[in-house]
Amino acid sequence: MARKTHRAGAPAAPFADDVGPFAATGRSRTEIVFDDEALLGTLFGQFDANLVQMENRLGVFIAARGNRVMIEGLPDEVARARDVLVKMHEKLLTGEELDAGAIDALINMSDEPHLDGIITGDAKLPPIMIRTRKKTISPRSVMQGEYMRLLAKEDVIFALGPAGTGKTYLAVAQAVSQLITGSVQRLILSRPAVEAGEKLGFLPGDMKDKVDPYLRPLYDALYDTMPPEQVERRLASGEIEIAPIAFMRGRTLADAFVILDEAQNTTREQMKMFLTRFGQNSRMVVCGDPRQVDIPGGDRMSGLADAVDRLEGVDGIGVTRFTVADVVRHPIVGRIVEAYEGEDAKP
């Protein structure tokens, strides 16, 4: 994508050293100087695509010359653009990936009072992130930051909200991180084998072949956070187990990180059975969207909302509620969810 030379209503100002408000127009200009020039190509993007993305989202004009970047526009938007650009550079310095989604997330979070507070939670504490073999994951929304804090602290976490908010992905990433560091010995991923509004009929093969189609999203998250050969080796050894919820009955899951996905499709009896599998030195995450119940009887038969009503506020249990504003997939996913559920929909 070729970069625009200027935008409507924001003519390209000459590159200059002066900073501060323009008295006649109410516009502001600021300049950033980056010491590490080696990263500037990645920071700006191919054909300055990253700068164009920021211009389009924030309504500013950005001009780069060497290691100096000038930002011009309305004062609040200039300040946001500067914060985002600095955070982008910091991500690259720490070896994190910088893609369109990561930039969009930083822009979204820059609207909060303190971007640093969202990323770190406290200036004296290290950044909120999850490190896995393949990538380092930072929060892409304010609520993701809160969720990641709970994942590192609470024994049982309920994550509620629409598709695309990172509920399951972040839980799997945290589980992989803890498995790698040895703080848990096993990773157990489960979900109810419920068809989403369609009948698949008889599935050929052994038990693994029959249940794998229902568990595919969990495999996808695993392969995105761990090299394929390690996934296969740990699956073969039993360190990683992926199974439908029916296989959990009668077990005690000790020294394990246990994740239940699509929990809205459990019955109350199944949810009670699953939660009481909790063992010593374990952590459990229950993910689901209360608005997408596929079991017979609908919402009134779902065990997810019932469990949250009973357990929210109990010591050691955390609850995160995502909304449409927290969707971090392609922006159109958020618009689709909003169109179906309404702008103010909450789980």
| Structure token digits, residue 206 | 């052994």
Last residue of a domain, one of 45, 78, 111: 111
Q: What is the span of the domain harbouring residue 69? A: 28-111
Segment 244-269 shows an average pLDDT of: 90
**Residue 8 resides in a domain:** no
Residue 120 has pLDDT above 80, yes or no: no
| Structure token digits, residue 285 | 């995450």
For the chain, give the mean pLDDT.
80
- The pLDDT value recorded for residue 209 is 65
Residues 44 and 192 grouped into a single domain: no
* Order of all β-strands in the sheet with 61-65: 20-21, 28-33, 68-73, 61-65
- The pLDDT value recorded for residue 25 is 62
Q: Is pTM beyond 0.85 here? A: no
Residues 205 and 87 grouped into a single domain: no
Residue 256 has pLDDT above 70, yes or no: yes
Residue 94 has pLDDT above 60, yes or no: yes
Using DSSP, state whether 130 is helix, strand or coil: strand
Residue 64 has pLDDT above 80, yes or no: yes
Give residue 9's pLDDT band: very low, low, confident or very high (50, 70, 90).
very low
- CA-CA distances (angstroms) from residue 67 to 17, 41, 43? 13, 10, 11
Residue 162 has pLDDT above 60, yes or no: yes
Segment 279-304 shows an average pLDDT of: 89
Last residue of a domain, one of 62, 77, 111: 111
Round to whole Å and give the CA distance between 168 and 154.
16
- Of the two residues 119 and 275, the one the predictor is more confident about is 275
Residues 226 and 150 grouped into a single domain: yes
Segment 118-126 shows an average pLDDT of: 43
Residue 8 has pLDDT above 50, yes or no: no
- CA-CA distances (angstroms) from residue 193 to 174, 189, 288, 343? 24, 13, 14, 31
Residues 51 and 137 grouped into a single domain: no
- Of the two residues 209 and 128, the one the predictor is more confident about is 128
- The pLDDT value recorded for residue 246 is 82
Side-chain-facing half-sphere of 189: CA atoms under 13 Å: 29
Residues 92 and 139 grouped into a single domain: no
| Structure token digits, residue 330 | 């392609």
Last residue of a domain, one of 111, 141, 164: 111
* Order of all β-strands in the sheet with 156-160: 240-244, 186-191, 256-260, 283-288, 156-160, 317-321
- The pLDDT value recorded for residue 206 is 58
Residues 309 and 205 grouped into a single domain: yes
- The pLDDT value recorded for residue 92 is 86
**Residue 87 resides in a domain:** yes
Residues 6+ apart with CB under 8 A from 5: 12
Round to whole Å and give the CA distance between 105 and 138.
10
**Residue 96 resides in a domain:** yes
Domain total of the chain = 2
**Residue 345 resides in a domain:** no
Give residue 320's pLDDT band: very low, low, confident or very high (50, 70, 90).
very high
**Residue 67 resides in a domain:** yes
Q: Where do we find the tokens 């009948």?
A: 199
- CATH assignment of the domain containing 213: 3.40.50.300
**Residue 5 resides in a domain:** no
Residue 314 has pLDDT above 90, yes or no: yes
Residues 159 and 223 grouped into a single domain: yes
Give residue 105's pLDDT band: very low, low, confident or very high (50, 70, 90).
confident
* Closest C-alpha to 255, from 284, 282, 285: 282
**Residue 116 resides in a domain:** no
Residues 80 and 194 grouped into a single domain: no
- Of the two residues 51 and 10, the one the predictor is more confident about is 51
Residues 183 and 48 grouped into a single domain: no
**Which spans in the chain are helix H?**
40-44, 49-58, 75-93, 100-109, 115-120, 142-153, 167-181, 207-225, 228-237, 268-275, 303-311, 331-341
* Closest C-alpha to 171, from 186, 187, 185: 187
* Closest C-alpha to 156, from 315, 328, 333, 3: 315
- The pLDDT value recorded for residue 333 is 67
Residues 239 and 203 grouped into a single domain: yes
Residues 106 and 136 grouped into a single domain: no
**Residue 2 resides in a domain:** no
End-to-end CA distance of the chain: 38
Residue 123 has pLDDT above 50, yes or no: no
- CATH assignment of the domain containing 75: 3.30.1370.10
- The pLDDT value recorded for residue 7 is 41
Residues 106 and 148 grouped into a single domain: no
DSSP secondary structure, 277-320, as one string:
TB-TT-EEEEEE-TT---STTGGGGBHHHHHHHHHTTSTTEEEE
- The pLDDT value recorded for residue 112 is 56
